[in-house]
Each structure stands twice: as C-alpha cells, then as structure tokens.
Amino acid sequence: MTILLNTPNDPTGEFRAYIPVLERLAPGRKVRIWPDTGPVEEIEYTMVWRPKPGDLRRYRNLKAIFNLGAGVDALLKDETLPDNVPLVRLVDESLTGGMTEYVVYHVLRFHRRTPELEQSQRRSEWEPLLYPMTRDRKVGILGLGVLGGDAARKLVDFGFDVAGWSRTPKSIPGVTSYHGQDQLKTFLNRTEILACLLPLTSDTNGIVNARFLAQLPKGACIINAGRGGHVVQDDLLAALDSGHIGYATLDVFTPEPLPHEHPFWTHPRVTVTPHNASLTQPETAVPVVLEGIARLERGELPRNVVDRKLGY
C-alpha cells in the first residue's frame, strides 16, 4: 500500500514535514512525494493540498483522497475529480484549536477596542476607551460546523452573548442558534462582532455583500477566516469607508496572495493575515489520516467524508 503526498505548492515546506511523521507512524507503508509518484497503479491513498487539476484521475487504484485542510472548495472545482473515491476533509485537534485561537483573539481585540488604542498610540494620544462587559457584547458566528462550533463554545466561556447562524438548526449550550435565509437578518441585526467560518459553496459565495453588511449594526466588526469568496471586497471597502463597518480582520482572499496594490493592505481599519488563521500540524493530522485508512481497510467509511452535493 502506497500513500502519495500530493501538495505541489509548498513554498515553506509545511507539507514536506509530514514525511518523517508518516514514516514513523506508518513504518510498513510506502510514502511518495508528488511529482515522484512511481508507478501510479501503486497509489492507493493520497494526502492532498491543492493538487494540480486533473492529476487525481491518474491513480486508477485510488481508495481515498484525504484533504489536508477543512475546506474542499478548491478540490471540488476539478471536474475530473474521481467521483467514486471518498473525499475526506481534515478534522483534527490542532486545526480546530488554531482556528478557535484566531477567532477568540480577534473577537477580544475588537471587544477591547484594541485597533483604536493602537491608532491613539501612533498619534501619541492618551485616550482611555470604554468597553462593555462580555455579557453585553453580542458575538455572532457564521457557520456552526466543527470549527465554528468550537469557537462559539470558547467565546461562551468568556461570557460573551454568542449566537450562530447555519444552514440547518444547531444545538450548542449557551449559543443562540439561527438557521436558514429567513433567520439571517435577525442574526445579523443583533451581531456586533461577526466571525465567518462558513464553507464556500454556491449558496455562500459572495454572502458578505452590501445587503448583508447593511443589516449589521453601525460600527460592527468582521472577522473572515472562512474563504475569500465569501466577501464581496468592494462592498466591504465601501462599508468601511462609510463607517457602517468599524473594523475588519481578513485571513482569506480572492485571489491569493493578496495583490500588493490592493487597498486592504493599507486601509486604516483592516487587518490582513496571510491565510494562516490555523495550520495543519503533522503530529495530529497524520494519525487522523491513518485512522481513516484503517477504517477503509476494515470495510468502513472514514469519518468526515465530504457530501459533494453540499460542498462540505
């Protein structure tokens, strides 16, 4: 049995670090690194991050595709993706924990008005700012899946008034659940700090648009760590410039990398991070993949198989 690590774009060596962990935790299995695939008929499992379109159809004995991230929208754009092979999204403790850290950090940053304090410092102005108790700060999580649900729970622990919106109803202790298009406006109207952790689908592409933003309270802050396609960039810039949206923290963009001339880089009320809200860690991701392989070899499906019709 051969595992192929298929990650063509790896400028930092993030994914190459999987090799020694795979070799240590799966000593009886062959491991190859794309493009050195060897005989393609020997490849039974592949761990991928943005493989080249059309490449995955070459492996005719493929039994599963393990995506090294939570989002599979880029993979699903490949019309040649084998439709009879399970596509598995990564759900592991480090990926979930990293995203929760990012969301909680930026919610706290906006709650405590840190961007305004930073601007005061640059002006050498001593300007104490008031902020409410956490129980009086309304935070909203757009998307209550594995990542959004964990972030919501941690924000409840801080005492925030937390609500979430999702496609279908969710039940999380301490979190007010809204669902479906009919309840989106009510959710937005009550949300002062919004974090988007939705999957990118045909229904959520461009969801953060002018109409959406207008339904948030004046001065609301936005955190987008979902996908760049969720945000209509010109609409967000207009809402920031008008003052209706107070601040934005953006980790994902279309396209990536964010072009050097893009106004987000220098906008006084935008924080840009380079799609690193959460990173996969080999020590926790590899055991998840190996457990999925073990399930397949027992005749079971891996956990977290993607529903291709839903897009996640």
Burial label for 294, CB within 10 Å (0-12, 13-18, 19+), is: exposed
**Active-site entry in 57, 275, 298, 303:** 275
Cβ(34)–Cβ(8) below 8 Å: yes
Q: What is the DSSP string of 246-263?
A: EEEEE---SSSSPPTT-G
- Integer Cα distance of 299 and 312 in angstroms: 23
**Three-state helix/strand/coil letters over 175-186:** EEEEEHHHHHHH
**Three-state helix/strand/coil letters over 192-236:** CEEEECCCCCCCCCCCECHHHHHCCCCCEEEEECCCHHHECHHHH
**Active-site entry in 227, 230, 260, 269:** 227
Which segments of the chain are extended strands (E)? Answer: 2-6, 30-33, 43-48, 64-67, 87-88, 138-142, 161-166, 175-179, 193-196, 220-224, 245-250, 270-272
Cβ(166)–Cβ(143) below 8 Å: yes
* Lookup: tokens for 247: 């601040």
Does the annotation mark 227 as catalytic?
A: yes
Sheet of strand 270-272, all strands in order from the earlier edge strand to the far edge: 175-179, 161-166, 138-142, 193-196, 220-224, 245-250, 270-272
Q: Which residue carries 């960039």 as its tokens?
A: 233
- What is the C-alpha end-to-end distance of the chain, expressed in Å? 27
Does the annotation mark 230 as catalytic?
A: no
Rg of the chain over Cα atoms, rounded to whole angstroms, equals 21
- Integer Cα distance of 120 and 299 in angstroms: 61
Residues annotated as catalytic (active site), given as ranges: 227, 275
